[in-house]
């Protein structure tokens, strides 16, 4: 599938087109306004832009969707990050009395980066990824999505492909956005199992009793482990590789076929554990190894901070050209990061001759310019590979909108207000 060879040098030409005709501003604005339940939520949100020549500007904020569009089309950011909702408009933070300008709320976010798995990946390293190690992301998403929904009770999760070597999760529930720093760090630590730096060999330590969360995670890992680690990653291909796996010397006579090897290692371990060489608590070594190779590795610091800035969905990755697109969890097994459209592809798709739309254009252009612009943009992205990803975003927003309606009702509690909310809701669904 051609991704229309992307060349970073073309960014200055492609980005203006992207922001003018493809970036889904109305859905984006709808998301970050959160149904208008809190006043000034969008206005007090910090954005940061990375412009050409690595110029980085923080504390960008906008009062309306229109202003956001105009500014982005003007500044043409190479990267867009989203920060917290502050007590005042970020663009005016210098005018605020020192100490009173504070980050109040933000989505709970997680960043899974493939480089954090370098010690257990044999196929790639650093910024590279391939279809073999992509399985790690699938495992990570499944484990974390389940835990965030079932254990923590969150409902509105947006998973986004970062564009190169990882995925991000945005937990958008009201309760999540209001979490304190301590709460965020507690959630991140609850979800962390792989601990230790370069100097730690045994990064996962399990002991009785095994927490239900670990059991759930293990069942996901076990599903993928055989195929991923033993076949694709070839972790048992050589004596050295296996030594690394177990930090133990393995007799050559156990070098059989790959999958049988695993069975033999377990037997060998039982034999060893009868002798006194093994330190106590090594009873779960097989589970520990599987987790060390496959369990998601989070950067706690990304999740901890209320004011932490994270790459925005639908931002372009300058090195690969890929758009940071939402991931549809229902299609997770078939998601291919190499199929994600690049900015050059969608711009090229845009330029292809339009079929029967020429007449409709003329009629509708006579209407309100902004609406026409929006409608044009909606038709535009629908003609590109970006369409299906925007649909995923739409579905996510619809699910959230239902909860906003509930919240607005709670706030007012009156029939009249619920009617006006209903109208507002209807207008939001018009796209």
Show contacts with another protein in window 286-305 (CB under 8 A): 297, 299, 301
Determine, following the binding rule CB under 8 A, whether residue 202 of this chain makes contact with another protein. Answer: yes
Phi, psi at residue 193, to the nearest 5°?
A: -125, -25
What is the C-alpha separation between 50 and 54, in angstroms, rounded?
6
CB nearer another protein, residue 125 or residue 417: 125
Q: What is the CA radius of gyration of the chain?
A: 25
Q: Is 160 helix (H, G, I), strand (E, B) or coil?
A: strand
What is the C-alpha separation between 215 and 247, in angstroms, rounded?
24
Peptide bond into 209 cis (omega under 30): yes
Q: How far is the CB of 59 from another protein (least distance, A)?
A: 12
Show contacts with another protein in window 213-232 (CB under 8 A): 213-215
Phi, psi at residue 326, to the nearest 5°?
A: -65, 150
CB nearer another protein, residue 117 or residue 159: 117
Per-residue binding string, another protein, 76-115, x by CB under 8 A, is ---------------------------------------x
What is the C-alpha separation between 45 and 41, in angstroms, rounded?
6
CB nearer another protein, residue 69 or residue 116: 116
Nearest to 128 by CA among 319, 300, 278, 259: 319
Token pair in block for residue 31: 């998301």
Query: Which residues belong to the active site?
Result: 46, 111, 113
Show contacts with another protein in window 176-195 (CB under 8 A): 179-180, 182-183, 185-187, 189-190, 194-195
Determine, following the binding rule CB under 8 A, whether residue 154 of this chain makes contact with another protein. Answer: yes
How does DSSP assign 144-155, residue by residue? HHHIIIIIT---
Show contacts with another protein in window 159-178 (CB under 8 A): 175
Per-residue binding string, another protein, 241-280, x by CB under 8 A, is ----------------------------------------
What is the C-alpha separation between 429 and 95, in angstroms, rounded?
38
The residue within the footprint of another protein, chosen from 64, 66, 200, 417 (CB under 8 A), is: 200
214 Cα distance to chain centroid: 22
Strands 310-311 and 79-86 turn out to be antiparallel
Q: How far is the CB of 197 from another protein (least distance, A)?
A: 3
Determine, following the binding rule CB under 8 A, whether residue 54 of this chain makes contact with another protein. Answer: yes
Binding site for another protein (CB under 8 A): 54, 115-119, 150-154, 175, 179-180, 182-183, 185-187, 189-190, 194-203, 209-215, 297, 299, 301
């Amino acid at each position: 599938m051609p991704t229309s060879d992307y060349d970073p040098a073309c960014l200055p030409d492609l980005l203006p087109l992207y922001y003018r005709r493809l970036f889904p501003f109305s859905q984006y604005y709808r998301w970050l306004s959160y149904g208008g339940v809190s006043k000034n939520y969008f206005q007090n949100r910090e954005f940061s832009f990375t412009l050409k020549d690595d110029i980085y500007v923080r504390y960008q904020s906008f009062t309306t969707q229109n202003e956001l569009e105009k500014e982005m089309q003007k500044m043409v950011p190479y990267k867009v990050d989203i920060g917290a909702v502050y007590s005042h408009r970020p663009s005016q933070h210098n005018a605020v009395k020192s100490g009173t300008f504070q980050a109040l709320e933000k989505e709970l976010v997680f960043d899974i980066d493939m480089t954090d798995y370098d010690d257990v990946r044999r196929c790639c390293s650093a910024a590279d990824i391939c279809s073999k190690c992509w399985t790690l992301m699938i495992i990570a998403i499944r484990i974390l999505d389940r835990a965030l929904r079932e254990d923590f009770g969150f409902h509105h999760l947006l998973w986004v492909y970062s564009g190169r070597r990882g995925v991000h999760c945005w937990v958008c529930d009201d309760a999540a956005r209001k979490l304190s720093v301590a709460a965020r760090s507690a959630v991140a630590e609850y979800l962390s199992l792989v601990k230790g730096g370069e100097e730690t060999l045994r990064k996962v330590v399990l002991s009785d009793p095994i927490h239900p969360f670990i059991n759930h995670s293990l069942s996901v890992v076990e599903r993928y482990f055989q195929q991923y680690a033993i076949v694709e990653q070839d972790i048992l291909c050589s004596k050295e590789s296996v030594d690394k796996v177990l930090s133990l010397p393995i007799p050559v006579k156990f070098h059989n076929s790959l999958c049988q090897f695993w069975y033999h290692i377990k037997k060998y371990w039982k034999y060893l554990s009868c002798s006194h060489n093994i330190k106590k608590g090594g009873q779960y070594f097989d589970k520990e190894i599987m987790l060390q190779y496959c369990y998601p590795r989070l950067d706690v610091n990304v999740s901890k901070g209320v004011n932490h800035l994270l790459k925005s969905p639908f931002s372009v990755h300058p090195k690969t050209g890929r758009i940071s697109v939402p991931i549809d969890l229902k299609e997770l097994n078939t998601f291919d990061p190499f199929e994600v459209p690049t900015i050059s592809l969608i711009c090229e798709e845009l330029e292809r001759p339009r079929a029967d739309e020429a007449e409709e254009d003329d009629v509708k252009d006579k209407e309100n310019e902004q609406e026409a612009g929006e409608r044009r943009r909606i038709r535009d992205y629908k003609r590109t590979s970006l369409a299906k990803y925007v649909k995923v975003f739409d579905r996510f927003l619809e699910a959230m909108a239902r909860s906003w309606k509930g919240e607005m009702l709670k706030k007012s509690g009156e029939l009249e207000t619920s009617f006006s909310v209903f109208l507002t809701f209807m207008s939001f669904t018009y796209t």
